[in-house]
Structure 1
Amino acid sequence: MKATWNGVILAESDDTIVVENNHYFPADAIKKQYFSESAHTSHCPWKGTASYFSIDVAAHRNENAAWYYPEPLEAAASIRGRVAFWKGVEIGE
């Protein structure tokens, strides 16, 4: 699977986990040069507190377009160390 935004592949892996229709990529599959930590967080009752990355490609910024659970709750342990995308990031093969 590939995560693409603004014509650039942000992540690529044959090892994604799908939860609630979102592909979670292994953290080592993302191209870190496009990602910066965000102060934004959100909370899911069964996954825990999510942290976010903003994505920068070719002078364009996509705020909080990727998220991960640094300390997922037990029910979501399978997505520890994984990153998912939204806000126009395309996921496909």
Structure 2
Amino acid sequence: MKATLKDSVIATAEAEDLVMIEGNRYFPPSSINWSMLDSSPTVSTCPWKGQAEYYSLVGGPKDVAWAYIAPNAEAVERVGRDFAEFVAFDRTVVISE
């Protein structure tokens, strides 16, 4: 699977390595091309997953990706897999095979 924006591949991973949560595919941290992302000051809190930190594409746009650095233990149990630091993308990023 690939996460692509503006013809640039941000992440590549095998489908079985991704975690699906609420319709979003979360890529393992090792699959991310971190040179393309900058940390953002934006944070949000999900009532069951915990606090998410955001990332912007270098050169824009802002806040196109997020990750739960330390998800709630209940969330890990509910998902059935530890997804700490896995990265999901907003709808501007195309996910394809």
Q: Is the pair's TM-score, using the shorter chain for normalization, greater than 0.5?
A: yes
Residue 88 of structure 2, aligned match among 80, 84, 87 = 84
Q: CA deviation at 1:76?
A: 2.5
Query: C-alpha distance in 2, partners of 1:76/1:4?
Result: 27
SS in structure 2 of the partner of residue 41 of structure 1: strand
Q: Give 1:50 shift.
A: 0.3
1:61 maps to which residue? 60
Moved over 4 A (4+): none
The alpha-carbon deviation at position 62 of structure 1 amounts to 1.4
Distance 2:26 2:75 in 1: 11
- 1:15-37 CA distance string (max 9 Å, x none): 10100010000011000110100
Amino acid at match of 2:72: L
Report the aligned-residue RMSD: 1.0
TM-score with structure 1 setting the length: 0.91
Partner amino acid, structure 2, of 1:54: S
Identity of aligned residues (%): 37
Unpaired segments ≥5 residues, structure 2: 77-81
Gaps of 5+ in 1: none
1:87 Cα deviation after fit: 4.2
Normalised by the length of structure 2, the TM-score is 0.87
